Amino acid sequence: MSMSQTASVPNRVRQVARLIRSMSDQERRWLIQALPELRQAQAAPAAQADLMAHFQPRLDALAGARPMLDTDPFIAGLSVGEFFALPEAEQARLWGQAHIEAEREIKPFERPVRPNALPARSTGRLRP
């Protein structure tokens, strides 16, 4: 996403995207069950057809999961209902804090890379 595209995406959407990336497979299945419209195919440009083909089976596999409840744990020790009952400014602060904490957890996996380095073959495992 280019800088201009990122700037036009509302903060709330970016926050939800970060949350979804942090969800387990089970939580994503629940999300798809709660929002079946996410499964509906949208007209995709030809350049995105391969990407859609890659992710569609994963989205289909998420179908049938239970939706999140207001009492489910969310972030910052709050339940879903408690978090969304907060004022937007407090939600934004907690999102930012959760994002910083997630980045700290990822740091041990980062490695310096030469500018001309080629990608290594994936073993499917993360190494600290």
**79 is a domain residue:** yes
16 lies in the same domain as 60: yes
90 lies in the same domain as 61: no
Mean pLDDT of all residues belonging to the chain: 77
**Considering the entire predicted model, what is its pTM?**
0.39
Model confidence pLDDT, tens digit, residues 8-19: 888 888 888 888
Using the structure block, give the residue that is written with the tokens 């030469």. Answer: 114
Residue 99 has which token pair? 């994002």
Range of the domain at 24: 9-41+55-68
Rounded alpha-carbon distances, angstroms, from residue 45 to 25, 42, 48, 53, 57: 27, 10, 5, 12, 19
99 lies in the same domain as 60: no
Using the structure block, give the residue that is written with the tokens 């207001």. Answer: 70
Rounded alpha-carbon distances, angstroms, from residue 36 to 28, 65, 90: 12, 11, 29
16 lies in the same domain as 62: yes
**115 is a domain residue:** no
Model confidence pLDDT, tens digit, residues 9-45: 888 888 888 888 888 888 888 887 887 777 654 444 5
